[in-house]
Structure 1
Amino acid sequence: MASSNITTAFSGNPLDRADLLRGNNTILTEWADRDDARFVLFAGDKVLTDDFGDILWLTASKCRFLPLGTRIFLGLDGDAPRYAASLEGTDDEFGGMFAPAKFREGRAVALKLGHAHPTLGIVAQAKSMLSWHKSHRFCAKCGEETELVKAGYERKCPACEASHFPRTDPVVIMLAFPEGSNDEKALLGRGHHLPTGFYSALAGFMEPGETIEEAVARELEEEAGLRTTRVEYKASQPWPWPSTLMIGCFAWVDGEEITIDETEIDDARWVTKDEARRALKDEMPDFFLPPFVAIARDLIDDWLKDA
């Protein structure tokens, strides 16, 4: 159960991950053929969903003659096993086979559902795991092709016996306020990849040997030239593109003079609560904030909730 008062999209996975069962060699064989087993299918980076945007779970019999590639155990729904599998081919090749269901990109699934939804956590788990298997076929130690073991949660090298495990890359994302301003204004920025007028919270990957607080302070210094005085953790969000954990924070800085690093971001500005509220109501034609699927929006909403 989440302890944060912020519910982020792609969190809240309802499955029992059942780690103790992963060493059972029958999990991916006999268990997967059970009548109560269900599969969520991916074609490329897209997941098969029903007309409402929710996962379309398929029985083992409906998957029997499909060209399945990697198959992993996700966990249990009650006592019933749940799996994810990739199709050998693109969504264009298989789309018509499941109509009116269709393959959707994960963020499109979230937008279709229209709110944070428990099954988005399953999408995050499945998408991250299948992407990892696709990009880690070969041993980083000796270069030989590795084998899937532990129901999909490990790859083993048959040559040098090295074990490889799924990884999640931590990213800090922060909403910053000037000390002594009563949090009436927040720092937002625009990366080079974002459209004109679109602003979000500043963010960056954590580096080895770095705490969350140190990463927040470094990013604010590097991108906006601001010195951090304190940091408060707020919430986290799985972000399966390909597999990151967004660590959302509030931060307070000394002063308001912004000096941006133009190699890092395109712009940064202080935004008042009134401006943010108007932007969320589409009352500012040249200023846009992130959609609800992003933790940046959750941080902004949390900032505004007592306004």
Structure 2
Amino acid sequence: MADDWMLAFAGPEGADAARFDRAAHLRGDDGWTASARITPVWRGKVLCRDAGGLAWLPPDHPALDGGGPSVFLGTLDGQPVGTRDISGWTPPNLAETELFIDPSEQRHPAIEDARFVDLRASIASFDAADGALAAISRAITGWHVSHRYCAACGHQSAPAQSGWQRQCPACNAVHFPRTDPVVIMLVERDDHLLLGRSPGWPEGMYSCLAGFVEPGETVEAAVRREVFEETGVRVGSVRYVASQPWPFPASLMIGCAGVAETQAITLDKVELDDALWLPRSDVRQVMDGAHPTIRTPRRGPIAGWLIRGWLDGA
């Protein structure tokens, strides 16, 4: 498969795999902060250098003042790295947008040659190590923002283990970052793919169907249930293909391929605006950017990766 269809956020592989180490054994020692580099997150946006890649700051940088506690990410090329939420900073003339991807950028007056960007907008601009670290940073800082109180007794909890736990001082409950499993499925029948579009998506955007795995449910059962609920199509055999961390806010996309046993579509209008069977020739047009009505998937997300793999016979 072409390099530009590689999975975003999956981390470095092969010879580069040793560049990033989560180094979980160091989380119990706060000594890592003295020599660390910190990448801040602002309201879910990551700090990107103008020259490309994540931007890193020393732990005593003034832009980090007043932010949340630093979270240890691991080591990058042997050096400790962390992240910190600085969402309390309010930039002047803050633009508000309800677009699928926020195109606005924010520049902190104390940070040179870098700006905060929507991770969805910059998904294809990071190398494998920076992409993984950006995803972890967004997910872990978002968890701390949304889980400040103990789920057992309601008391305010505090970060522990360099940000990888929260502990309640009142009832001693320990809470861990959550990851929500989501199935995303490439459903085929007679050399056609089943694609759908959700309400609110940009015009011409179609993708593989997807949905959350429910408690007590297998991945295979979730694939069959979600496809049937949204389109009325029955799926038979299901196989696992690949997975992708998806920090919006904290999902794990479990990519599967399924073979449909039925073809008729009965649309759930709450979940989908449209669903269709697309023949291989049209799918190829979509991926080549030549289809008259359906836009090419973005590079980075697993949906386009699954579709490209299907076209390539993977």
Alignment CA distance shift 1:16-1:225 (3 Å):
same
Partner of 2:100: none
Partner of 2:206: 199
Name the CA distance, whole Å, in 2 between partners of 1:122 and 1:116.
Answer: 10
Name the CA distance, whole Å, in 1 between partners of 2:156 and 2:238.
Answer: 43
The partner residue of 2:25 within 14, 20, 30 is 20
Partner of 1:39: 38
Name the CA distance, whole Å, in 1 between partners of 2:200 and 2:81.
Answer: 37
Name the CA distance, whole Å, in 1 between partners of 2:180 and 2:275.
Answer: 25
Q: Note if contact 2:53-2:127 (Cα within 8 Å) is conserved in structure 1.
A: no
CA deviation after TM superposition for structure 1 residue 185, in Å = 1.0
Q: Note if contact 1:176-1:186 (Cα within 8 Å) is conserved in structure 2.
A: yes
Name the CA distance, whole Å, in 2 between partners of 1:90 and 1:147.
Answer: 21
Q: Note if contact 1:95-1:102 (Cα within 8 Å) is conserved in structure 2.
A: yes
CA deviation after TM superposition for structure 1 residue 220, in Å = 1.1
Partner of 1:3: none
Partner of 2:158: 147
State the superposition RMSD in angstroms: 2.0
Name the CA distance, whole Å, in 2 between partners of 1:109 and 1:65.
Answer: 22
The partner residue of 2:113 within 85, 88, 100 is 100
Name the CA distance, whole Å, in 1 between partners of 2:64 and 2:241.
Answer: 46
TM-score normalised by structure 1 residue count: 0.88
Q: Are 2:236 and 1:229 equivalent residues in the alignment?
A: yes
Matches within 5 A, 1:249-288: 249-288=256-295
Q: Note if contact 1:10-1:116 (Cα within 8 Å) is conserved in structure 2.
A: no
TM-score normalised by structure 2 residue count: 0.87
Name the CA distance, whole Å, in 2 between partners of 1:260 and 1:65.
Answer: 48
Name the CA distance, whole Å, in 2 between partners of 1:207 and 1:124.
Answer: 24
Percent identical among aligned pairs is: 40
Alignment CA distance shift 1:91-1:9 (3 Å):
farther
**SS of the residue 1:106 aligns to:** coil
The partner residue of 1:121 within 124, 132, 137 is 132
CA deviation after TM superposition for structure 1 residue 156, in Å = 0.5
The partner residue of 1:171 within 182, 189, 192 is 182
**SS of the residue 1:97 aligns to:** coil
Alignment CA distance shift 1:176-1:64 (3 Å):
closer
CA deviation after TM superposition for structure 1 residue 92, in Å = 2.4
Partner of 1:214: 221
CA deviation after TM superposition for structure 1 residue 272, in Å = 1.3
Unaligned runs of 5+ in 2: 13-18, 93-106
The partner residue of 1:187 within 183, 194, 200 is 194
Q: Which moved more, 1:59-68 or 1:69-78?
A: 59-68
CA deviation after TM superposition for structure 1 residue 196, in Å = 3.2
The letter for the 1-side match of 2:223 is V
Name the CA distance, whole Å, in 1 between partners of 2:225 and 2:74.
Answer: 38
Alignment CA distance shift 1:85-1:162 (3 Å):
same
Name the CA distance, whole Å, in 2 between partners of 1:234 and 1:98.
Answer: 41
Partner of 1:242: 249
The letter for the 1-side match of 2:69 is T
CA deviation after TM superposition for structure 1 residue 195, in Å = 2.7
The number of aligned residues is 290
Q: Note if contact 1:116-1:293 (Cα within 8 Å) is conserved in structure 2.
A: no
The letter for the 2-side match of 1:140 is A
Name the CA distance, whole Å, in 1 between partners of 2:210 and 2:41.
Answer: 29
Name the CA distance, whole Å, in 1 between partners of 2:306 and 2:257.
Answer: 8
